[in-house]
Structure 1
Amino acid sequence: MSPSTPRPNRNWRRRCAVAVAIAGTVLATTPAAHAAPADPAALGTKLAKAVTADNINRHLIALQRIADTNGGTRAAHTPGYQKSLDYVAGRLRAAGFDVSTPEFTYNRIVVDAATVTAGSVRAVPLQMTDSVSTPVGGLTGPLVAVPVDANPGCQIEDYAGINATGAIALIKRGGCSFTQKQLVAAQAGAVAALVYNHVEGPGYGGVDPAQSKIPTAGLTTAEGLALTAVAGTQTTVDIRTHREMTTSRYLVTQTRTGRTDNVVMTGAQLDSIPTSAGINDTGTSSAALLEIALKLGPAPRVNNAVRFAWWGAEDVDKTAAGFYLKSLTFEQQLDIAMYLNSNSIGSRNAGYFVYDGDNSTGSVGPMPYGSAQIEQAFVRYLAGREIQADGSNFDRQWDHSQFIMAAIPTGGLYAGSYRQKTPAQATKWGGTAGVSFDRCHQQACDNLGNVDRAVLDRNADALAFVLGGYATSTEDVNGVPAREQRAQARAAVALKATTLGGAE
């Protein structure tokens, strides 16, 4: 290069790199290109075909390695989460997306004590969210095992013949809420309640803070059975936590094409629990969403803009999703046509669940208008793959609950977690009845070996297909048709006006 030849600057190089990246995405085009076809299935089919299990798996490998080199976790307050966020942001920016990673604050639960000691038996309890704590040093009393029936510890009659005054109540999970179990135990005179799981896995759960009477914690099935064998032993329970305001980040990006006043938004939780790499929960949904975004590209041929989000700190009272929605005005929230969520979509003993948008399970409660239509969009796609989906009575603690509370139409996918697969479900979907959908849910074994990649591929295809359809038209959800349909309607009105004018 001669001295007189202009030297390319860094911005020029960056623009070239972005242009190459955009050219590599199968569905991308320039913002001035023609809109997507009016048939919603066309874009959805193309996107589902472009999203492959191999590429999603590569993202999972990245998340596993990030966890392995950061203390085995990707929890929202840890370097593992920040590096997970950096990985997603880096892949998106390299593809040409404009990425933002706003800060949010949340009340992180910090464990101060977690022990149960009954003679030679030791257990590590999980204090129920919003349960009162024990005093420093714990509470001591005789261990009483509540008889097991269909509804153990759910009514005061279950304590008939048991002297529970000053005791530690040991109760099997099931039949009623954790709140109810500890209320009844307190009524019987117990000073603490231990609820052991009825399926494999840790005893996660929560109680209503307004009704928390005695310290309550969850145990695994094995811990519960071991303690049952030493019932009557003087037992000490020490469970204490405190809340600590913590700052973290989430990630949001949006296509540069499509209507910005009728945005199709989709998101997934990115962080794990502190004791796990979280590869099925939450890696599978985050990895699938990343691959869908990369294949869609930053400037695709869509009628409606698509907004992607990766959240942190899902299982607390101030989630990233809630923080994000509160940062929007009502008018900005109106710009969001719907929200599509996914969670644990590669479970090894999988079920095929779609979020219950029409309350057909009778237990979800009123949903925003349009949610039932989203549910049916997923159901129809899976039926086309010869998969009969069930409505899911989903967990209201998940990120999407924030959108439901904002009256934004919501739907999504779920392959099951700690609950047991029923014989009917095993007949319908295969797998093993009487075993959890995900035996490693929120445990250290939730790693790369805890993913059914065929299930993950089907669910990723379903999400891609439905997303592509709504990026074309949201008419069945909120009455906003595809651009071509609006143009045809305007042309028909103009033609009619011209005809009438000529008749006069």
Structure 2
Amino acid sequence: MPADILAKKMSQAVTGEKAWRHLEAISEATAANGGHRADGSPGYDASTQYLTRTLTAAGYKVKRQEFSFLDYEIFSEKASVTAPNPRTLTPIIARFSISTPEGGLTAPVVVPSGKSTGCTANDYAGQDVKGKIVLVDVNDCFITQKQITASEMGAVAVLMNVNAPNPQLNLRYRMVPPEDARIPIATLNRGEAEQLKSDIAAGPVTVNVDLRGRNKMTKTYNLLADTPTGRADNTVVMGAHIDSVDTTPGMNDNAAASAMLLETAVQMAPYWKHVKNRVRFAWWAAEEKGISGSQYYVDQLNEADRSGTALYLNLEMIGSPNFLRQVYNGQTADGPGPAGSDRISGLIGGYFADRGLPTAGLVLDGRSDHSPFIAAGIPAGGVNAGSDAVKTPEQAKVFGGTVGEMLDPCYHQACDTLANVNRTIFEQNGRAMAWAVGRFAVDTSDVNGK
């Protein structure tokens, strides 16, 4: 069967309605087992058991790739204004943060004298922050650099305003690398941070922060399922992470993509005899914990395995409610991705263009499971409907939606339920990726020359 024919058949066979049944099953498994799918949790196991049963029924042999990764156990994430007007704050400690003493530490809180993001010493020019807690804004540099700078200036802790459009939204960040953690650090939602800034402008403010956790090792596993046909030395890998953070049921992030990947695998089974390049379907663990699952997978590849991996296709947050129809554009932050990545982008983008659906390019950044493949020199591409970026007026003219809101207002929040998944973009992204894997299952020659 020619590549274009299998691509067409796959895009017709995979539908949002069929994949939605899998998403409902993952939702039920998550809800009945603690309400999230963090690695090592009952929700993770229940969801992967559903994947395994469904794949086995379709004829696949499912492999669990077990590994351990550096995790962070949280004991306390509390804060309060102690003077002049006492009130409770709701911080979220950064993963791998240094801990305060039990009971916390109490100190004056100040904002940088220069740029509010607090990335460099110049942001504190002429200011004494020794023994104080600094309140900084998100952006300009990673959170790790903010606390390094604050530590070097003598601060005892950092609070960071996530500055999201929703004043009540807060997110958990992490220290990268963990060994660069210097002082306790946590995030505040915009509403609390702005009130705190207003109080500081009016006079001295004292805050107590009780932020405690410790590093630990967590055991988990990836799920892998291969087509029994096709060249093993030219394997097409298609993946999505199945884990979630522990504050959400994670339906858009990333159960929707996992469900669509499952339906794609099921619909490919009748076409195994036409598969010329082995397809490996992968459900990654610990994406939310430093992209650890896909990194482990890539780390286990020997040279023959790496050269025998034709390409990687990634599905990430494919049903965002305030979506952009984003296609990874073959570029990294430092320049072109591995040879062939731009061709993957062009083909997926062309699928949408042929149907009159506009797309936006998205850089192959370090925020999802394509990252380890890119670092290993393996071409990669895929789709992503968006997370915490804020929709611009220009984007709304093309894609609709709400200006000034995050592409997924429920990103890492309790509201990321089934109701948060936009079924239109969910199906569009799913059909596009089913088309892509059908095409590459037969022909990757224009990507890697094989």
TM-score (norm 2): 0.92
| Deviating more after overlay: 348-357 vs 204-213 | 204-213
455, 480, 485: which one aligns with 2:425? 455
Distance in 2 (alpha carbons) for counterparts of 1:165 and 1:154? 16
Equivalent in the alignment of 1:367: 337
Secondary structure of the structure 2 residue equivalent to 1:169:
strand
Alpha-carbon distance, 1:460 to partner:
0.4
Alignment match, 1:468 = 438
**Would the alpha carbon gap of residues 172 and 155 (structure 1) be closer, same or farther in structure 2, given more than 3 Å must change?**
same
Equivalent position amino acid for 2:58 in 1 = A
Q: For 1:91 and 1:244, how far apart are their aligned partners in 2?
A: 33
Q: Deviations over 1:305-363 (max 9, x none)?
A: 1110111111335722222233332212222111111110100000121223134xxx2
Pair 1:196 & 2:158 matched: no
1:260 positional shift:
1.6
1:383 and 2:383 matched: no
Partner Cα separation in structure 1 for residue 147 and residue 79 of structure 2: 17
Kindly tell me: are residues 168 and 111 of structure 1, through their superposed partners in 2, closer, same or farther at Cα, counting changes over 3 Å? same
Q: Secondary structure at the match of 1:245?
A: strand
SS at match of 1:102: strand
Deviation at 1:61, TM superposition (A): 0.9
Q: Structure 2 matches for 1:348-363, cutoff 5 A?
A: 348-359=321-332, 363=333
Equivalent in 155, 180, 190 of residue 145 of structure 2: 180
**1:104 alignment partner in structure 2:** 67
Contact residue 97 and residue 213 of structure 2 kept, 8 A = no
CA distance in 1, matches of 2:43, 2:398: 38
Distance 1:194 1:218 in 2: 5
Q: Distance in 1 between matches of 2:171 and 2:342?
A: 32
- SS in structure 2 at match of 1:101: strand
Equivalent-residue separation in structure 1 for 2:293 and 2:151 (angstroms)? 35
Are 2:293 and 1:320 aligned? yes
More strand by share: 2
> Structure 1 residue 388: deviation in Å?
2.6
1:439-454 equivalences under 5 Å are 439-454=409-424
Residue correspondence of structure 1 range 224-373 to structure 2 within 5 A: 224-231=193-200, 232-297=204-269, 299-317=272-290, 319-359=292-332, 363-373=333-343
Unaligned segments of structure 2, at least 5 residues? none
SS at structure 2 position matched to 1:218: strand
Give the corresponding residue for 1:27. none
Q: Secondary structure at the match of 1:166?
A: coil
CA distance in 2, matches of 1:454, 1:83: 27
For residues 431 and 291 of structure 2, the distance between their equivalents in structure 1, rounded to whole angstroms, comes to: 31
Query: Are the equivalent residues in 2 in contact too, given 1:105–1:318 (CA < 8 A)?
Result: no
Name the CA shift for 1:208/1:261 in 2 (closer, same or farther; >3 Å). Answer: closer
Mapping 1:113-132, distance limit 5 Å: 113-119=76-82, 120-132=86-98
**What is the aligned partner in structure 2 of residue 435 from structure 1?**
405
Q: Which residue of 2 aligns with 1:167?
A: 132
Give deviations 1:65-117, integer Å, cap 9, x for gaps.
11111111111111111110010110111111111123221222211221111
CA distance, structure 2, for counterparts of residue 392 and residue 131 of structure 1: 30
Deviations 1:425-448 (A, max 9, x none): 111111111110000001111111
State the alpha-carbon separation in 1 of the partners of residues 70 and 180 from structure 2. 20
Measured in 2, the distance between the counterparts of 1:397 and 1:419 equals 13
Is contact 2:240-2:315 (8 Å) kept? yes
Q: Distance in 1 between matches of 2:71 and 2:232?
A: 34
- Which amino acid counterpart does residue 305 of structure 2 have in structure 1? Q
Contact in 2 for aligned 1:144/1:162 (Cα 8 Å):
no
Q: Matches of 2:423 and 2:370 in 1, distance apart?
A: 24
Aligned-partner Cα distance in 2 for 1:240–1:367: 39
- Aligned partner (choices 37, 42, 49) of residue 5 of structure 2: 42
Residues 226 and 91 of structure 1: CA distance in aligned 2, closer, same or farther (over 3 Å) = same
What CA RMSD, in Å, does the superposition of the two structures yield over aligned residues? 2.1
CA gap of 1:314–1:97, structure 2 versus 1, over 3 A, is same
Which one is further off, 56-65 or 446-455? Answer: 56-65
Equivalents in 1 of 2:438, 2:312: separation in Å? 13
Gaps of 5+ in 1: 1-35, 481-504
Task: Give aligned-pair identity as a percent.
Answer: 38
* Per-residue Cα deviation, 1:176-199 (whole angstroms, up to 9, x for no partner): 332333234334432111111121
Does the 8 A contact of 1:255 with 1:300 survive in 2?
Answer: no
Q: Matches of 2:342 and 2:264 in 1, distance apart?
A: 23
Instruction: Indicate the residue corresponding to 2:182 in structure 1.
Output: 213
Matched, 1:153 2:126: no
Aligned-pair CA distance for 1:229 = 3.8
In structure 1, C-alpha distance between the alignment counterparts of 2:232 and 2:50, rounded to whole Å: 27
8 A Cα contact 1:364 1:394, kept in partner: no
Check 1:383–1:121 CA distance in 2 against 1; reply closer, same or farther (3 A cut): farther
**Alpha-carbon distance in structure 2 between the residues aligned to 1:145 and 1:326:** 42
Q: Does 1:139 align with 2:92?
A: no
Structure 1 letter corresponding to 2:107: G
Q: Letter of the aligned partner of 2:97 in structure 1?
A: S
Rounded Cα–Cα distance in structure 2 between residues aligned with 1:366 and 1:343: 21
What SS is found at the alignment partner of 2:252?
helix
CA-CA distance at 1:394 after TM superposition: 4.5
Question: Shift of the alpha carbon at 1:123?
Answer: 2.4
Of the structure 1 ranges 228-237 and 189-198, higher mean CA displacement relative to structure 2 is found in: 228-237
Give yes or no for contact 2:96–2:215 (8 Å, CA) kept in 1.
no
Amino acid at match of 1:307: R
In terms of Rg, which structure is larger? 1
Aligned residues: 439
State whether residues 148 and 172 of structure 1, in contact with CA within 8 Å, keep that contact through their aligned partners in structure 2. Answer: no
